[in-house]
Amino acid sequence: MASYIGRRKFLATLGGAAVAWPLAARAQQGSRMRRVGVLMSTAADDPEGQARLAAFAQGLQQSGWTVGENVSVDVRFGADNANLRRYASELAALAPDVILAVGSAATAPLLQATRTLPIVFALVADPVGAGFVNSLARPGGNATGFTLFEYGISAKWLELLKERAPGVTRVAVIRDPAIAVGLGQFGAIQTAAPSLSVDVVPINVRDAGEVERAITAFARSSTSDGLIVTGSALAVAHRQLIIGLAAQHRLPAVYPARFFVAAGGLSSYGPNFLDQFRRAAVYVDRVLNGDKPADLPVQAPTKYELVINLKTANALGIEVPPSLLARADEVIE
């Protein structure tokens, strides 16, 4: 039932913008119905997940694909690893023409389920290190797509945190120990810490209970603390809890994406996620038109954004430097 609901919501999203689809582009695709699978690493009712699907829908529109006319779309939502594995097998069994995989947590089980069906991934931090592709320039297998960000950006999070809250001397780094990305991101932060006179503390979390216990224990252990949340499906799923705990314990925090700040987080720096889904739709279109993932280079993000929530800053008693506000791509008040 959850899978059907997810697909129905996606079709409704497409339908809302169908009027804008160019008729000429539709005709170019031919009359044969094609099939696309989508494996999301968020819950079906997650607003960010729905926004990502809407961006993907926009990309499909721009490439001339009309759901129900020349393409069908099967969406599965898996907010945890067990469901992602199950839905990856389901999608592989449907044998679609191409599958969109969102994040490493979705891409890994799909590649375990099939090494022949074309896969386009989005929001994957290290596809080479994870074994998804042979190289960025020449993927070589049945998968290609778009990287989330380089590990080096994680050091920028620490720099931004110190710029917003110069008194911070101890920073907790929230990471998911089940994925290698968390280790890589923490490594980059740890490397930058000495030059900024900051001690960093890794906090491994696997579920909501661990998130609450870990942040509470960290905040109670000393003052002059800060928080960095690394990118993971777990952080996305529990973002409201993390943001609430940061506010409760008055922890200045940096997050990996805008939607954390829109939900009340202090600040974020990272790629424009929705842009990546529009670009992923272009790769899906190319596969549907005959290109092979092995020949399509993995692409890096092209749009990054710094977002600051002034309301949250005021609540924490933080005065954001004018120079930082001037650099921000968006200021939420």
Is pLDDT at 2 greater than 90 in this prediction?
no
What is the spatial distance between Cα 126 and Cα 191, in angstroms, rounded to a whole number?
19
Q: What is the CATH number of the domain that holds 28?
A: 3.40.50.2300
* Residue 42, domain extent: 2-148+273-302
Give the chain's end-to-end CA distance (angstroms, integer).
39
Residues 108 and 192 both lie in one domain: no
**Coil, helix or strand at residue 129:** coil
Is the confidence at residue 73, as pLDDT, over 70? yes
In terms of domains, do 158 and 279 share one?
no
- If you average pLDDT over residues 263-278, what whole number do you get? 95
Structure tokens at 298: 């993995």
Rg of the chain over CA atoms, in angstroms?
Answer: 20
78 and 45 inside one domain: yes
Contact 284, 100 (CB under 8 A): yes
Q: According to the model, what pLDDT value does residue 209 have?
A: 93
Residues 179 and 141 in one domain: no
| pLDDT one-digit tens code per residue, 85-103 | 999 999 999 999 999 999 9
Q: What are phi and psi of 109, to 5 degrees?
A: -65, -30
The pLDDT score that the predictor gives to residue 80 is: 83
Same domain, 260 and 327: yes
126 shares its domain with 42: yes
More confident residue, 3 or 160: 160
Which is more confidently placed, 198 or 232? 198
**Per-residue pLDDT tens over the stretch 298-316:** 999 988 999 999 999 999 9
Do 13 and 83 reside in the same domain of the chain?
Answer: yes
Chain position carrying tokens 């089940």: 178
Angle at 272 between CA 153 and CA 67, to 5 degrees: 140
How sure is the predictor about 44, in pLDDT bands with cuts at 50, 70 and 90? very high
Please give the Cα distance from 2 to 75 (Å, whole number): 10
- In this predicted structure, the answer to whether residue 211 has a pLDDT above a threshold of 80 is yes
Structure token pair of residue 159 = 């720099």
Say yes or no: 137 and 257 in one domain: no
Please check the confidence at residue 31 and state whether its pLDDT lies above 70.
no
- The mean per-residue pLDDT over the stretch 215-225 comes to 86
Q: What is the mean pLDDT of the chain?
A: 88
Q: Based on the domain organization, do 94 and 183 belong to the same domain?
A: no
At 263, list the tokens. 């939900």
pLDDT at 147 over 90: yes
Same domain, 100 and 114: yes
Q: Provide the residue count of the chain.
A: 333
Cα gap 284→167, rounded to integer Å: 47
Identify the three-state secondary structure at position 289: coil
Number of C-beta neighbours around residue 27 at 10 A = 11
Highest mean pLDDT among 19-33, 208-222, 246-260: 246-260
Cα distances (Å, whole numbers) of residue 133 to 115, 146, 239, 277, 290: 11, 11, 30, 19, 19
Over 60: is that where the pLDDT of 191 sits? yes
Which of the 8 DSSP states describes residue 153?
H
Clarify whether residues 242 and 289 are in a common domain: no
pLDDT digits (tens, 9 = 90+) for 115-140: 999 999 999 988 998 999 999 999 99
Do residues 106 and 173 both lie within one domain?
no
Number of structural domains, the chain? 2
Output the pLDDT for position 271: 92
The residue ranking higher by pLDDT, 237 or 293, is 293
Percent of the chain with pLDDT over 90: 76
Tally DSSP H helices, then E strands, for the chain.
14, 12
